[in-house]
Amino acid sequence: MTGGGSYPVSWQVRGEGFDLTATASTEDARQEFLAPMWLGPVAVEGEMDGAAVRGSGMLLLTGYEDIQ
């Protein structure tokens, strides 16, 4: 049921006082359980209130599968 698709696995998130980039630690995180989705960890780097920060996170992507 799960089609192909292209998953955006790196994101830039910006707002007042912050500029962060979250990049998937693995590109192989397609899940076919509840619904087709991409769910996997990200590593974060960037700035928050003028200081360098890093971090970890999780990315969930839905709706990128080819329409069957």
Return residues touching other proteins (CB under 8 A).
Answer: 1, 4-16, 18, 20-29, 31-35, 37, 39-42, 44, 48-49, 51, 53-64, 67
Beta partners for 21?
12, 45
**Minimum CB–partner distance for residue 17 and other proteins (Å):** 9
d(C-alpha 3, C-alpha 25), whole Å: 23
**Minimum CB–partner distance for residue 52 and other proteins (Å):** 9
d(C-alpha 44, C-alpha 53), whole Å: 8
